[in-house]
Amino acid sequence: MRAAVSGYVVEPGEGAFDADAVISLLSAIGEAVEVSEEMMNLVTAVSGSGPAYFFYLTEALEQAAVAAGMDEDVARVLCRETLWGAAKTIKETGSDPGELRKAVSSPGGTTLAALREMDAAGFMKMIADAVDAANRRAGELAT
């Protein structure tokens, strides 16, 4: 499936260290991205904790659909396949997520109405605050 992403640090030092072997191992399960040591807590906050953020969004979308009257099984399929399709589109096209969002947002349409509601509720700040909290906690756990 190769759906993982791993941040790694290569620090030159004493002793034999085969960075290519580490990169090859990480690449066998997904993407491997080199970062500086200072970024490792943020890597944890973004990609280590990140799957839970997407699971939570999917959970919320499913619950909202059911609360609005949709059958639970139908909501599950629609929400999960929508997440999968969106993720696949980002991955396969390499397009900027903001550009993709704009491309599917018709002027005066339903998507923009929903996005306005999310903006009014502070969605972007909420995500930034969540990443900041996870980053701080990663630092606390590292000490």
pLDDT on residue 143: 87
Domain-embedded: residue 121: yes
Domain-embedded: residue 26: yes
pTM over 0.75: yes
Q: Do residues 11 and 37 lie in contact, with contact meaning Cβ atoms separated by under 8 Å?
A: yes
State both tokens at 42.
């943020």
Domain-embedded: residue 61: yes
Domain-embedded: residue 66: yes
CATH number of the domain at 52, please.
1.10.3730.10
> What residue type is assigned to position 49 of the chain?
S
pLDDT on residue 15: 64
Distance CA 107, CA 41 (A): 39
Whether residue 81 sits in one domain with residue 110:
yes
Find the helix or strand (DSSP H, E) in which 118 lies. helix 110-120
Number of compact structural domains in the chain: 2
Consecutive sets of 10 residues in the chain, 143 residues long: mean pLDDT of each?
86 73 91 94 96 97 98 98 96 96 97 98 98 97 91
Strand ranges (E), the chain: 4-8, 30-34
The boundaries of the domain holding residue 30 are 4-34
Cα first-last separation, the chain: 34
Could you give the residue ranges of the DSSP H alpha helices within the chain? 19-27, 40-43, 50-67, 72-93, 97-103, 110-120, 123-142
Domain-embedded: residue 133: yes
Distance CA 37, CA 9 (A): 6
pLDDT on residue 2: 76
Whether residue 10 sits in one domain with residue 68:
no
Distance CA 109, CA 24 (A): 46
Whether residue 10 sits in one domain with residue 64:
no
Distance CA 134, CA 128 (A): 10
pLDDT on residue 22: 85
Domain-embedded: residue 43: no
Domain-embedded: residue 42: no
pLDDT on residue 7: 93
Whether residue 84 sits in one domain with residue 58:
yes
pLDDT on residue 80: 97
pLDDT on residue 88: 95
Whether residue 71 sits in one domain with residue 18:
no
Whether residue 58 sits in one domain with residue 118:
yes
